[in-house]
């Protein structure tokens, strides 16, 4: 299966079919190498998806692929860091599930801690 967007891959990642899940996982794992900054933008867009499970997964993968990997974190330009912080902060609302808020806060804490605060 060929994917053109992270949102489509996230939906397939939750599939009960192994082959579909495996294809989605391969696509998702290749994103930072294929389109580093575009991948960040797609994950940020995915934070607005209507399905709670998909937004939680998008936040988790954004953190694991970009924020938790020091080499990748160092490659993110400062203006994109500000975009990430702004977007993640804006998505923390009373309608979000606790797991999403937890993931969002993990992203924010890591960025504020490692980058010494956002200006």
Report if residue 13 sits inside a domain. Answer: yes
Confidence of residue 114 (pLDDT cuts 50, 70, 90): confident
Asked if residue 1 belongs to a domain, the reply is no
Give phi and psi for 23, each to the nearest 5: -65, -40
Q: Is residue 119 part of a domain?
A: no
Q: Report the percent of the chain where pLDDT is more than 70.
A: 94
Which tokens go with 110? Answer: 């890591």
Domain membership of residue 78 as a residue range? 6-114
The residue whose two tokens read 């867009």 is 45
pLDDT tops 70 at residue 1:
no
pTM over 0.85: yes
The count of domains in the chain is 1
Q: Can you give 59-79 as a three-state secondary structure string?
A: HHHHHHHHHCCHHHHHHCCHH
């Amino acid at each position: 299966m060929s994917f053109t967007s992270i949102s489509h891959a996230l939906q397939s990642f939750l599939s009960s079919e192994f082959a579909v899940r495996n294809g989605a996982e391969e696509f998702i794992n290749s994103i930072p190498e294929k389109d580093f900054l575009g991948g960040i933008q797609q994950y940020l867009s995915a934070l607005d998806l209507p399905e709670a499970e998909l937004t939680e997964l998008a936040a988790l993968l954004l953190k694991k692929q970009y924020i938790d990997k020091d080499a990748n974190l160092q490659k993110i330009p400062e203006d994109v860091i500000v975009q990430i912080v702004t977007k993640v902060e804006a998505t923390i609302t009373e309608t979000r599930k606790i797991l999403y808020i937890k993931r969002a806060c993990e992203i924010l804490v890591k960025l504020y801690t490692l980058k010494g605060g956002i200006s």
